[in-house]
Amino acid sequence: MSLIPVPIQLHQKGPQTLGISWSDGVESEYAVRDLRLNCRCAHCVDEWTAEKRLDPATVPMDVRPKKIEPVGRYAIRFVWSDGHDTGIYTFDLLRKLANPN
Amino acid sequence: MEVFFRSKNNVTESGILKVLSQVMDPDLGKDIVTLGFIKNLKIEESKVTFSVELTTPACPVKEDLKKQCEDLVRGLEGVESVEVTMTAQVRQAYVAPSKLALPGVKNVIAIASGKGGVGKSTVTANLAVALAKAGAKVGLMDADIYGPSIPLMFGITDKPMMEGDTVIPVEKHGVRIISMGFFIPEDQPVVWRGPMVHGALTQFLTQVKWGDLDYLLIDMPPGTGDAQLTISQNAPLSGAVIVTTPQQVSLIDARKGLKMFQSVQVPVLGVVENMSGFVFGRGGGQKLAEESGVPFLGSIPIDPRVVESGDSGTPVVESFSSSESGNAFRTLASRVAAELSIAHARYHTPVAKDLSMEWQS
């Protein structure tokens, strides 16, 4: 039976680095701008064609989260310093972004 | 000589745990010693007492497990009497803590259907009463804001009491109940716009004083729209039960409901086929469950007494407890509780910290 890992704690590791401790003991680290660039919301990724609509050049190099909130039992949401706040990051996506292999 | 060797020293805790580890929990697929169910083990000379703490008072194989434990321990050399007490401690579900976390509520279960008119509220009402009768602490939140029918089914005419800003649920047939029906006149249609739906449901989740509950059942509004999404994203759901009738038209919508919960990572505990029988046919619910890879929780036979009991304010599991429908609802309650325990076992222990944070710049 496979156990589904869930985040148990978020840590701010630097001005632009987020750390997540997972229930299975994995520790992952993210450059927050990469997370912003990987936003899957309808503004950033076309809902029908799945084509990426977000131009990385429009995202400030010093973008940071203002705050992070849990969504249901499957995701977290970021309110970003560039005003963007519609992206929902599922735990599944966060695991994939942490382990690209 | 034999009598001499059967001294108290022969009966050891490890010996008892060793034989008890042969007893399997059929739902969780592990033995009851590994699962940590054995509590308060005492050995006094040739007398052994212990309790077995299950994950739900509605365990379908409670008596069977008890007998297995008694027989195995009695078979040990030196044991003359065995006393086994069956208890239950409903496990707290894993939920990402949020401002809408419901303190004291161990499990929140959404009862949903894609389509209206499949008897979702009837199933919810009977499920709630069956769990309460099994000994669990149960709450019922009637979130069907368009057509709240729970007050009628429980025969509630009283308005809930207020305590400052919070609402105290009305208790009936052993279930603590809150419904939008308490707050709107019966003969007035409710026209809800999106933001109002969100606001009303959020109030239900935050301003009701539920107290300690093992299970809070949410009677969901039909469909897969705003209201459903509000609840699945904001309520700390531990699982969802999908209600359908055997008809194709109902099954198509049930499949949509099922997919919605799966897309937000709420475990689907299974599918119930309501109104099963010669009028609408049977078997559709089971097929849907199989196709979707979720458990089939059982069929509720079509029975006029179910409807009459609902209309008269006493759910059938109370008014005709030993009828075929009454039995079907009791079996359903056991299945739901068991599937919930299985779903818990798939997640890690609930040690999550609050996942909200303010970024320091």
Enumerate the residues of chain B whose CB falls inside 8 A of the CB of residue A70: 96-98, 354-356
Question: What is the rounded distance in angstroms from the CA atom of residue B196 to the CA atom of residue B281?
Answer: 39
Rounded Cα distance between A46 and A27, Å, is 31
Q: For chain B, how are helix, strand and coil distributed in percent, rounded to 5?
A: 35, 25, 40
**pLDDT tens string A47-92:** 788 888 888 999 999 999 999 988 777 788 999 999 998 888 988 8
Where in chain B is CATH 3.40.50.300? Answer: 108-346
| Assessment of whether the complete model's pTM goes beyond 0.80 | no
Query: Is residue B309 a contact partner of residue B317, using CB atoms and an 8 Å limit?
Result: no
Every domain of chain B with CATH number 3.30.300.130 lies at 10-88
Contacts of B355 in chain A (CB under 8 A): 7, 9-10, 68-70, 76
Does the beta-carbon distance from B348 to A69 stay under 8 Å?
no
Q: Tens digits of per-residue pLDDT, A3-12? A: 577 888 899 9
Could you please report the per-residue DSSP string of B48-78? Answer: EEEEEEES-TT-TTHHHHHHHHHHHHHTSTT
Across-strand partners of B31?
B24
Question: How far is residue A76's CA from residue B357's CA, in Å, rounded to a whole number?
Answer: 11
Structure token pair of residue B119: 């008897």
List all residues of chain B from 237 to 256 with a beta carbon under 8 Å from chain A.
Answer: 237
Which of helix, strand or coil describes residue A37? helix
A91 burial type by CB count under 10 A (0-12 exposed, 13-18 middle, 19+ buried):
buried
| Predicted pLDDT at B191 | 64
Cα–Cα distance measured from residue B360 to residue B323, given in angstroms and rounded to the nearest whole number? 62
- Of B122, B336, B334, nearest to B238 (Cα)? B336
The domain made up of B108-346 has a fold known as Rossmann fold (3.40.50)
Which pLDDT belongs to residue B237? Answer: 85
Identify whether the C-beta of residue B143 lies closer than 8 Å to the C-beta of residue B227: yes
State the DSSP code for B119.
Answer: -
Closest CA to B150 of B170, B130, B136: B170
- B48 contacts B74 by C-beta, under 8 angstroms: no
Nearest chain B Cα to A2, which residue?
B346
Residue ranges in chain B modelled with pLDDT below 50: 1-7, 348-351
What span, in angstroms and rounded, lies between the C-alpha atoms of B306 and B317? 9
Q: What is B11-26 written as a DSSP string?
A: --HHHHHHHHTT-EET
Query: Would you call B264 an interface residue with chain A, using a CB distance cutoff of 8 Å?
Result: yes
CA B295 – CA B243 distance, rounded (Å): 12
CA distance B100 to B109: 15
What is the predicted pLDDT for the residue at B259? Answer: 87
- Where do we find the tokens 């001294």? B7
Task: Report the 3 state secondary structure along B227-283.
Answer: HHHHHHHHCCCCEEEEEECCCHHHHHHHHHHHHHHHHCCCCEEEEEEEEEECCCECC
Nearest CA to B260 among B292, B290, B236? B292
The structural domains of chain A, ordered by start, are 32-98 (3.30.2020.30)
Looking at residue B118, what is its pLDDT?
A: 85
pLDDT of residue A66: 95
Q: What is the pLDDT of residue B344?
A: 77
pLDDT for res B356:
85
Q: Rounded to an integer, what is the distance from CA B191 to the centroid of its chain?
A: 31
pLDDT of residue B6: 44
A to B CB pairs, distance under 8 Å: 92
CATH 1.20.120.1730 fits B10-88, yes or no: no
**Can you tell me the ipTM of this complex?**
0.83
Structure tokens at B162: 């207020």
From A31's Cα to the closest Cα of chain B, the distance in A is: 14
- What number of helices (H) and strands (E) belong to chain A? 2, 6
Tell me which residue has tokens 């739906």: B197
Mean model confidence pLDDT for chain A: 86
Q: Which of B54, B57, B2 is nearest to B26 (CA)?
A: B54
Does the distance separating the beta carbons of A8 and B352 come in below 8 Å? yes
Closest CA relative to residue B148, chosen from B183, B176, B118: B183
Question: Between the CA atoms of B77, B82, B86 and B92, what dihedral angle is there, to the nearest 10 degrees?
Answer: -50
What are the backbone angles phi and psi of residue A90, rounded to the nearest 5°? Answer: -70, 155
Q: Which residues of B45-72 are buried (b: 16+ CB within 10 A; e: fewer)?
A: ebebebbbbbbbbbbbbbeebeebbeeb
pLDDT exceeds 50 at position A44 = yes
CA within 13 Å, CB half, A55: 2
Nearest beta carbon to residue B359 from set A3, A8, A67: A67
Q: For residue B8, how many other CB atoms are within 10 A of its CB? A: 12
User: How close is the nearest chain A Cα to the Cα of B120, in Å?
Assistant: 23
